């Protein structure tokens, strides 16, 4: 019987909650081969070398902890990427310094550097969660929301596993505490302009989360409530614009005011007042 670390939750209990005999299916960590991915979508290649085996074990350990994180916060099992609770395979040895989730082919790809970063693994897994539960078009405002929620989840996971509540860095890519620029608009969306500057624009939303956390003095109990509001707002989001997401966070917070408390609602409202002028 497998237990979560320091949680005492039996797998059987999770299975019963999910009404499935196998809520946590094994995670496949495979070796990336460009030609095979192009020809067949993807092809299973077991991790054969000692280096691959070590990285596979590390990723599996990280994924198990991310599963625990999502269960403890949202009762999502297997990150609910599909109805069976399965998680798409992870390909390592991607030839460029990059990490991505491919929603159509349903696989993750990481170069070995990013594959070793738990925050980046959580970021990419959150893209898969969003794609399954409430897809956001990867362009413009909705694409920026997709990136922002993935960043916020990665930071929440990082702080969940750490004693450093003020660590807001995502790999070597972005720092959510940095003041963002005004929203960058584009008449067209393509790879050259990052599909409407989704990564740059995402900082407006993720920095709002940082400001709200700062307003709460980074208190762990309040910040867990804050993260739950951010994530639940994504799950229930209809108007997939910055204004729509802002309104949804305030609505979700007020609907649960007895649990959240006025202090968290005020922290969110104050943070939005600071970042709303940057909206398109």
Q: Is residue 32 part of a domain?
A: yes
What is the rounded CA–CA span in Å between residue 253 and residue 263? 11
Q: Is residue 2 part of a domain?
A: no
Q: Is residue 145 part of a domain?
A: yes
Question: Does residue 181 share a domain with residue 69?
Answer: no
Domain extent at residue 215: 140-278
What is the rounded CA–CA span in Å between residue 122 and residue 136? 18
Question: Does residue 82 share a domain with residue 174?
Answer: no
The CATH number of the domain holding residue 229 is 1.10.390.10
Question: Does residue 255 share a domain with residue 148?
Answer: yes
Question: Does residue 185 share a domain with residue 259?
Answer: yes
Q: Is residue 3 part of a domain?
A: no
Q: Determine the pLDDT at residue 265.
A: 94
Q: Is residue 1 part of a domain?
A: no
What is the rounded CA–CA span in Å between residue 159 and residue 181? 25
The CATH number of the domain holding residue 40 is 3.10.170
Q: Determine the pLDDT at residue 66.
A: 85
Q: pTM here?
A: 0.85
Q: Determine the pLDDT at residue 82.
A: 58
Question: Does residue 126 share a domain with residue 36?
Answer: yes
Question: Does residue 264 share a domain with residue 203?
Answer: yes
Q: Determine the pLDDT at residue 83.
A: 59
Question: Does residue 90 share a domain with residue 49?
Answer: yes
Q: Determine the pLDDT at residue 278.
A: 98
Last residue of a domain, one of 102, 133, 164: 133
Last residue of a domain, one of 104, 133, 162: 133
Q: Is residue 5 part of a domain?
A: no
Say how many domains are in the chain: 2
Q: Determine the pLDDT at residue 78.
A: 52
Blockwise average pLDDT, block size 10, the chain, 280 residues = 30 37 58 62 63 81 83 68 69 87 86 90 93 93 98 92 78 91 95 95 98 91 91 95 98 87 94 97
Question: Does residue 193 share a domain with residue 68?
Answer: no
Question: Does residue 41 share a domain with residue 159?
Answer: no
């Amino acid at each position: 019987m497998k237990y979560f670390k320091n949680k005492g939750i039996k797998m059987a209990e999770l299975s019963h909650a999910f009404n499935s005999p196998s809520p946590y299916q094994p995670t496949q960590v495979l070796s990336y081969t460009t030609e095979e991915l192009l020809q067949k979508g993807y092809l299973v290649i077991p991790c054969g070398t000692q280096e691959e085996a070590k990285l596979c074990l590390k990723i599996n350990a990280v994924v198990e902890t991310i599963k625990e994180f999502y269960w403890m916060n949202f009762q999502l099992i297997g990150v609910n990427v599909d109805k069976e609770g399965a998680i798409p395979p992870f390909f390592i040895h991607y030839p460029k310094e990059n990490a991505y989730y491919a929603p159509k082919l349903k696989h993750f790809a990481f170069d070995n550097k990013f594959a070793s970063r738990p925050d980046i693994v959580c970021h990419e897994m959150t893209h898969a969660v969003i794609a399954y539960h409430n897809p956001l078009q990867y362009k413009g405002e909705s694409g920026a929301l997709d990136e922002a929620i993935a960043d916020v989840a990665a930071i929440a996971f990082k702080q969940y596993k750490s004693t450093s509540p003020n660590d807001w860095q995502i790999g070597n890519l972005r720092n959510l505490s940095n003041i963002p620029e005004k929203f960058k608009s584009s008449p067209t969306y393509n790879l050259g302009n990052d599909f409407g500057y989704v990564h740059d624009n995402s900082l407006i939303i993720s920095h709002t989360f940082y400001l709200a956390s700062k307003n709460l003095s980074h208190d762990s109990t309040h910040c867990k409530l804050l993260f739950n509001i951010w994530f639940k707002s994504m799950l229930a989001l209809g108007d997939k614009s910055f204004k729509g997401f802002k309104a949804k966070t305030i609505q979700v917070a007020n609907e649960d005011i007895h649990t959240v408390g006025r202090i968290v609602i005020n922290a969110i409202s104050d943070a939005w007042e600071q970042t709303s002028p940057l909206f398109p």
